[in-house]
Amino acid sequence: MLTLTAGSRIETAFREKFPASDRLFERAQDLFPNGVTHDSRYLKPFPIYIDSAAGSHKTDVDGNELVDFWVGHGALLLGHSHPAVVEAVRRQIGRSTHPGGCHELELEWGEWVQRLVPSIERLRFTSSGTEATLMALRVARIASGKTKVVKFAGCFHGWHDALVPAAEPPHEPAADYATPGITDGVMGDLVIVPPGDLDAVARAIDLHDPACVILEGNGPRWGVVPLREDFVRGLRQLTAQRGVIFILDEVITGFRVRPGGFQEYCGVEPDLSTFAKVLAGGLPGGCLGGRADLLQVLAFDNPLGRKMKHPGTFNANPLSAAAGSAALEIVSSGEPCRRANEIAARVRSALNDVFAEKSVNWVAYGDFSTIKIHPEYDGPRPSADDFVPFGGDYLKLDRKFPPELSHAFRCALLSGGVDWMGWHGSTSSAHTEADVDRTAEAFSQAIDLLRADGLLD
């Protein structure tokens, strides 16, 4: 029976292991709301502070070495501080960090994107994935002359006004997706449909005549509700038939699931695609790419006569271009994607073995290089790696769990030497079999601690 009380044993062990982070957090509370600079880094009783990182490990300010499953919020497919990326940035930083002009590295970076993703006829660099999806909507609206946008419940496309509503549960059919700070006018242009439901998309298109449909590659929030390639192919066919611009958000999946992204895996060509994370080799950077006629709205002499304004102080910054070009050259072999996907499958299998051994109603699932944990699952146990709990029912999969359990779980894992991103993790090509074993052991110990503190049956 789950109780909603703080886990004293877990907290005591956590405070003993991370005293320097505790002290730094005291300073942070006078600087930042809740003492953090990113919502996902918020942790009770305090977050850990990292000093250095290499490969699949990072070291905190107390000298604890941790197996890392954040991998730079998904950006570090090659692992931390990959030598080729470090050397590329080192060479460039002494030449210029911000020349305020065109430079050859932006050409090299753009050519790598075109080489790996055939649908990219033209592209424009940004500083983040949020900027890329924001630009995608504006391009679609200018090119189509329409305003409404169809998105899928649970998909995260950045934190800008136009797409942040419905990025998190709850997703009940009658859910009110009103979001603090987002105006009714913005909400009126957003049409939210259930993930994986082509009929709902067709009805939304018929009713609202939207400028575009946008989908997060592999399903909501890096596959918490995994979507299969047949659905993506069907969505591509439907949008093409109805003359609606199809945007595939590959900020996470791009260059990670395969060198050509989720679209290569599915065998589709979106009209527009957004990228970030792996694109920039771990530095800030994003881009929008796709059909040349659509990207033409950014040109000064475009035939529509309506140019989209797009400045951006750090667009195609040479340090990001250097890191991105070095990373994409390595990714182009396909080996980093293959290795990260393979090791994630081994982690999922090892964790499901732990859950069965411990008789806990948790399950690990996911596709490619992601591992999702659902801590309230009482159905059949996985028999293969393509298993999806609850038959893919998004209302059961995409849920919030008690915050007391969530904080205690992460603290218990950290005490065992593993840094897990909430209820999910991602792998890099640098993760090893030893990391898999250490992770399984940390999960086993964490379950014991949660039980001892009355947070788990």
pTM: 0.96
Cβ-count burial 81-103 (b if 16+ within 10 Å, e if not): ebeebbebbeebeeeeeeeeeeb
Smallest CA-to-CA distance from 153 within 201, 185, 186 is with 201
Structure confidence at residue 1 (pLDDT): 31
Q: Cβ(264)–Cβ(113) under 8 Å?
A: no
In terms of C-beta distances under 8 Å and separation of at least 24 residues, what long-range contacts does 358-365 make, across chains too?
Answer: 358/444, 358/447, 358/448, 360/447, 360/456, 360/457, 362/447, 363/389, 365/226, 365/389
For 356-398, the pLDDT digits (tens) are: 999 999 999 999 999 999 999 999 999 999 999 999 999 999 9
Q: Give the ranges where 209-277 is alpha helix by DSSP (H).
A: 220-223, 229-242, 261-266
Query: Quick one: tokens of 172?
Result: 């009940």
Residue with tokens 């692992």: 79
Structure confidence at residue 457 (pLDDT): 87
Residue 3: band (very low, low, confident or very high) from pLDDT cuts 50, 70, 90: very low
Query: Quick one: tokens of 295?
Result: 């990207």
* Averaged pLDDT, 428-438: 98
Non-local CB neighbours of 297 within 8 Å, separated by 6+ positions: 139, 142, 143, 304, 306, 307, 308
Strand 190-193 vs strand 370-374: parallel, antiparallel, or unpaired? unpaired
Give me the torsion for CA of 344, 417, 13, 59, rounded to 10°.
Answer: -130
Smallest CA-to-CA distance from 242 within 270, 220, 212 is with 212
d(CA 315, CA 241): 34
The overall average pLDDT reported for the chain is 96
Percent of the chain having pLDDT more than 70?
98
Smallest CA-to-CA distance from 126 within 273, 301, 342 is with 273
Query: Quick one: tokens of 225?
Result: 């509700």
Structure confidence at residue 267 (pLDDT): 98
Q: Cβ(328)–Cβ(78) under 8 Å?
A: no
Q: Cβ(418)–Cβ(70) under 8 Å?
A: no
Structure confidence at residue 5 (pLDDT): 45
Structure confidence at residue 364 (pLDDT): 98
Structure confidence at residue 377 (pLDDT): 96
Structure confidence at residue 175 (pLDDT): 81
d(CA 92, CA 43): 36
C-alpha distance from residue 4 to each of 57, 405, 408 (Å) = 32, 7, 11
Give yes or no for residue 173 having a pLDDT over 90: no
* Averaged pLDDT, 169-175: 81
Smallest CA-to-CA distance from 320 within 280, 263, 364 is with 280
Give yes or no for residue 268 having a pLDDT over 50: yes
Strand 272-275 vs strand 424-426: parallel, antiparallel, or unpaired? unpaired
Give yes or no for residue 4 having a pLDDT over 50: no
Structure confidence at residue 8 (pLDDT): 86
Give me the torsion for CA of 76, 79, 81, 86, rounded to 10°.
Answer: -70
For 275-332, the pLDDT digits (tens) are: 999 999 999 999 999 999 999 999 999 888 899 999 999 999 999 999 999 999 999 9
For 190-246, the pLDDT digits (tens) are: 999 999 999 999 999 999 999 999 999 999 999 999 999 999 999 999 999 999 999
Structure confidence at residue 123 (pLDDT): 98
